[in-house]
């Protein structure tokens, strides 16, 4: 789920929520351009669809009232504020030869997260990046080739979707993906909690909290992944570039700093209802500061050094368990557990060393509104003893850092949302999040975050 380096960022300017006319104009233009191609497509096209164009636009506004805040640091979540984000994406794909798909996703973004996307390990909006701008700007999150090799087994239809051409595929197959993409496109996926444009918004309900996945400040990277599907099992492995500097927009291009990721998935059916369990792990080799070195420098000098001054090639890693299970046609459960070694500064995701989440998604058909959906989930995040000392000594993490941490505690989050399905592929979502001990600080909060999301896509 979804950015400026912690030692080179400025606070977002205070802006009125009405200052987004340019963003809506860009959205309207993109949507209008996409309509001719969209109108020609059926929801599920004929086998071996040759090309497709899809589009989406999402607007999120979040606000928080006052809450206890006895002191503040450079990375603190501040009370009494409201912020908005906007994006519009075009998904264009073509099938150049049998089994291959090439996709490009140009995108326009605008806006800021609360406190410029600072102040909580589990940040409230995965639609808010570590890079924010007042005016709309262009980026290219994805440009990749996917090649599928049939290895036998039953054939099943594949429906047209964003970044997926309609056709058919074998149960047993090998899928190779190369180019610029997000690790969450392949790893740590979940049917009920993985899309901030359609389900949960909190970062650690979109992705495993301790999965410090390779990415630039917007959550994307260069690399490749292989997926081997055989029966009920899938094995995945990938190699990806890190950002040149933690949480900066620029990426490595030659794997001088890299991450290796592996995952095994088992799909099961219980009482006629599908489910899956995924177990993954990652190893990172990057130019990162060790927390013990930063703390040792503080003990010697009485001043917490800039992370950059102590960065050198170091290793760190971790793993996760990700499960989902349909209970009925209208209820699905999910859960994640993740942990990292907690010895280095966070690289490209967020400041979490242990995380657990559990939740459910509900279909509105159960209460007579088939187009509606709802979700409820809880999260507990924690940090290593080394990171706790680093923050207590005034260190700044990727997202957290109140300047001191005299009373540390686990960060606890609850998110609840209700999505109203509207005509023409539009959905309106009301979202509420409760954050206890944001940034692991029992002196701050609790924080109530109220949100609204408007999404349209075809």
pLDDT tens by residue, 95-122: 999 999 999 999 999 999 999 999 999 9
Percent over 90 (pLDDT), the chain: 86
Question: Phi and psi for 313 in degrees, rounded to 5?
Answer: -70, 115
Q: Are 95 and 165 in contact (CB under 8 A)?
A: yes
- The whole-number average pLDDT for the span 418-443 is 97
Whether 369 and 363 have beta carbons less than 8 Å apart is answered as no
Helices (H), 228-378: 291-301
Quick check: 293 pLDDT over 50? yes
- pLDDT on residue 129: 86
Q: What is the mean pLDDT of the chain?
A: 90
The answer on pLDDT for 362 being more than 90 is yes
- What is the structure's pLDDT at 225? 98
Structural domains for the chain: 21-457 (2.40.160.180)
In degrees, to the nearest 5, what angle opens at C-alpha 268 toward C-alphas 264 and 271? 165
Q: Which helix (H) or strand (E) holds 428?
A: strand 426-436
Task: Report the pLDDT value the prediction gives residue 47, as an integer from 0 to 100.
Answer: 64
Please work out, in degrees rounded to the nearest 5, the angle formed at the alpha carbon of residue 217 by the alpha carbons of 73 and 204.
Answer: 70
CA distance 83 to 64: 9
Nearest to 264 by CA among 279, 246, 254, 285: 279
- Residue 40: CB partners within 8 Å, gap ≥ 6? none
Q: What CA–CA distance (Å, rounded) separates 130 from 241?
A: 18
Confidence of residue 130 (pLDDT cuts 50, 70, 90): confident
| Reported confidence tier of residue 16, pLDDT bands at 50, 70, 90 | very low
Q: In sequence order, what are the residues at sequence separation of 6 or more whose Cβ sits closer than 8 angstroms to the Cβ of residue 302?
A: none
Average pLDDT score over residue span 431-444: 98
pLDDT confidence bin for 252, thresholds 50/70/90: very high
Structure confidence by residue, pLDDT tens digits, 330-354: 999 999 999 999 999 999 899 999 9
Q: Is the pLDDT of residue 247 over 60?
A: yes
pLDDT of residue 113: 96
Helix, strand, coil percent values for the chain (each to nearest 5)? 15, 45, 40
Q: Would you state the torsion angle of the CA atoms of residues 211, 215, 218, 223, taken in this order, to the nearest 10 degrees?
A: -130
pLDDT for position 131: 83
- Two structure tokens written together for 430: 């009301």
DSSP tag of 70:
S
Higher local confidence (pLDDT), 230 or 26: 230
- What's the residue count for the chain? 458
List CB contacts of 433: < 8 A, sequence separation 6 or more: 124, 201, 202, 413, 414, 415, 416, 448, 449, 451
Helix (H, G, I), strand (E, B) or coil at 171: coil
Tell me the DSSP string of 287-325.
EE-BHHHHHHHHHHHSSPPPGGGG-EEEEEEEEEEEEEE
Percent of the chain with pLDDT over 70: 90
Q: Residue 15 pLDDT more than 90?
A: no
Q: Which residue has the tokens 């990727």?
A: 398
Which residues make beta-bridge pairs with 436? 412
Query: What pLDDT does 43 receive?
Result: 45
Q: Residue 23 pLDDT > 70, yes or no? A: no
The strand pairing partners of 270, in sequence order, are 273
Q: 415: buried, middle or exposed (CB in 10 Å: 19+, 13-18, 0-12)?
A: buried
Mean pLDDT of 150-179: 95
Residue 233: in which H helix or E strand, if any?
Answer: strand 233-241
pLDDT of residue 73: 95
Cα–Cα distance for residue pair 250/241, rounded to 1 Å: 10
Give the separation between CA 47 and CA 301, rounded to whole angstroms.
67
pLDDT for res 282: 98
- Identify the pLDDT of residue 187: 98
């Amino acid at each position: 789920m979804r950015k400026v380096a912690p030692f080179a960022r400025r606070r977002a300017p205070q802006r009125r929520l009405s200052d987004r006319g340019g963003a809506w104009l860009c959205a309207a233009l993109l949507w209008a351009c996409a309509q001719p191609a969209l109108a020609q497509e059926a929801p599920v096209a004929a086998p071996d669809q040759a090309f497709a164009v899809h589009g989406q636009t999402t607007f999120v506004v979040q606000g928080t009232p006052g809450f206890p805040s006895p002191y503040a640091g450079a990375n603190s979540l501040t009370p009494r504020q409201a912020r908005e984000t906007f994006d519009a994406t075009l998904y264009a794909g073509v099938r150049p030869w049998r089994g291959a798909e090439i996709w490009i996703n140009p995108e326009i973004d605008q806006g800021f997260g609360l406190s410029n996307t600072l102040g909580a390990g589990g940040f409230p909006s995965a639609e808010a990046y570590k890079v924010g701008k007042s005016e709309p700007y262009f980026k290219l999150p994805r440009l990749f080739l996917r090649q599928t090799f049939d290895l036998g087994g039953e054939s099943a239809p594949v429906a047209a979707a964003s970044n997926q051409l309609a056709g058919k595929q074998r149960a047993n197959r090998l899928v190779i993906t190369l180019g610029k993409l997000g690790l969450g496109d392949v790893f740590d996926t979940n049917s009920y909690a993985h899309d901030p444009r359609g389900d949960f918004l909190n970062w650690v309900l979109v992705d495993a909290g301790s999965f410090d996945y390779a990415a630039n400040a917007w959550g994307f990277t260069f690399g490749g992944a292989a997926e081997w599907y055989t029966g009920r099992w899938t094995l995945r492995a990938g190699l990806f570039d890190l950002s040149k500097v933690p949480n900066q927009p620029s990426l490595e291009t030659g794997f001088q700093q890299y991450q290796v990721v592996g995952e095994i998935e088992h799909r099961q059916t219980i009482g006629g209802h599908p489910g899956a369990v995924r177990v993954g792990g990652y190893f990172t080799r990057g130019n990162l500061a060790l927390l013990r070195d930063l703390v040792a420098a503080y003990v010697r000098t009485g001043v917490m050094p800039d992370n950059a001054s102590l960065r050198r090639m170091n290793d760190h890693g971790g793993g996760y368990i990700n499960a989902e299970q349909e209970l009925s046609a209208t209820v699905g459960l999910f859960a994640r557990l993740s942990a990292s070694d907690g010895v280095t500064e966070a690289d490209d995701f967020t400041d979490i060393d242990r995380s657990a989440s559990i939740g459910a998604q509900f279909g509105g058909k159960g209460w007579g509104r088939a187009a509606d959906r709802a979700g409820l989930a809880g999260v507990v995040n924690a940090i290593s003893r080394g990171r706790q000392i680093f923050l207590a000594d005034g260190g700044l993490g990727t997202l957290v850092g109140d300047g001191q941490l005299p009373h540390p505690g686990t960060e606890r989050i609850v998110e609840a949302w209700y999505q109203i399905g509207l005509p023409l592929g539009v959905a309106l979502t009301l979202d509420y999040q409760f954050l206890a001990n944001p940034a692991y600080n029992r002196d701050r909060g609790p924080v109530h975050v109220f949100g609204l999301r408007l999404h349209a896509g075809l």
